[in-house]
Amino acid sequence: MPRDAMVISAVILGLIAMVPLAAAVGGNNASPFTSRSGGLVQTIATWFGADTMIESTPRVPASRAADRPADWPLYSKAGHDITPLPDAKVQELALSLTPEQRRVLLNAGTEPAFCGDLLDNPEHGTYCCRLCGLPLFNSRHKFDSGTGWPSFDRSVDPDHVRYKEDRAHGMVRTEILCARCNGHLGHVFTDGPRQTTGQRYCLNSASMQFFTEDAEMPERSRPVETATAYFAGGCFWGVEHYFEHKVPGVLDVVSGYQNGHTDNPMYKQVCTGTTGHAESVRITYDPARVSFRELMEVFFWIHDPTQLNRQGPDVGTQYRSAVFAADEAQLEEARRYVKFLTENDPRFKDRPIVTQVEMTERFWEAEEYHQDYSARHNKACYIPEWRGVEPPAILTGAGVK
């Protein structure tokens, strides 16, 4: 080996050997890569495939959108439309990028360390995808990793980032991409601050656009405008599961107790029938994708509105059928729809609808173990089988049988 090569190799090995010592000095709550010099050690180690220095396969947050059909609109918990953009739209958006931004975002490039314009950005605000505008990271979660790239310990929403195994350059790493446009962002490692998440999201400045806290976010970076609906139709487990998993345009469904006379009701109290509450669900939806009328069509399909104070095997006033209107417009629309069903739907020709239609009162979220109960326990609730009547178009159009 040439003498110069031997010297370089010795320096590199010496730097790598210093990492455990740095970790020991830093203590249990310190990352070994918290300074510019420590970051250089990690950078060199990564270049030469020394991936044994760090755990390179971090825990990937579970996605709320993972169980939705591929052609449905997808929404994050934060209320953003994260429906994957078609390739044609991505290429259209890419026309505004610089050559360097295209190299990084579209071709999984990496900008040189310590050269990104957002590395030492001291301002408070949000870091959005440079290509599609989806909010990705916030300055509250930014830290100086010393690696030469902007680093964060978490994303603003787990659903805003997609994860992919990257075996390039003889290493196994976890690549992070924008969930909406699939633009390359960087990689994530498990050597972040141990006192928070332990994650280090290592980003390219070229992949992001920064907006200060007091700046008005562009439309593409804002959550969708949503509306709220409340329905009570027997056991809330089944109603919640159906709306959340079978109705496109629904962002979120929460089980709870509503229109009773007791504050902070608990499940056992409600089961006595003395609190006056109904088991209900709060539905957050995108009115640009699904209307309140369509939600009512689904509601009157998945429960029997002719059963008084019961639904199938569940008996009691807490299982009553009700539409709790969020405003006067919903109240009038619900009344008109019940009248329409009474006069036109053969299901209710000889069986009167007993659904209560009234203004909503306070909604109390049910205990955590009730949320997503059917999905977590793979249990179904009572749903009537209607014969001789077509299901709502919003369901058949979504492929629901």
Facing residues of 315 across strands? 310
Please report, in angstroms and rounded to a whole number, the separation of the first and last CA atoms in the chain. Answer: 70
Say which residues have a Cβ less than 8 Å from residue 94's Cβ, sequence separation at least 6. 102, 105, 106, 131
If phi > 0 it is left, if psi is from -120 to 50 it is alpha, else beta; for residue 86 that is beta
The count of residues in the chain is 401
Cβ–Cβ < 8 Å for 191, 205: no
Cβ–Cβ < 8 Å for 206, 111: yes
- Which residues are identified as catalytic? 202, 235
CA distance 343 to 332: 17
For the chain, the C-alpha Rg in angstroms (whole number) is: 27
CA distance 34 to 145: 5
CA distance 127 to 212: 9
Contacts of 134-142 with C-beta under 8 Å, sequence gap 24+, read 134/80, 134/82, 134/160, 134/178, 134/179, 134/180, 134/181, 134/220, 134/221, 135/78, 135/80, 135/160, 135/217, 135/221, 136/160, 136/161, 136/178, 136/185, 136/208, 137/201, 137/203, 137/208, 141/196
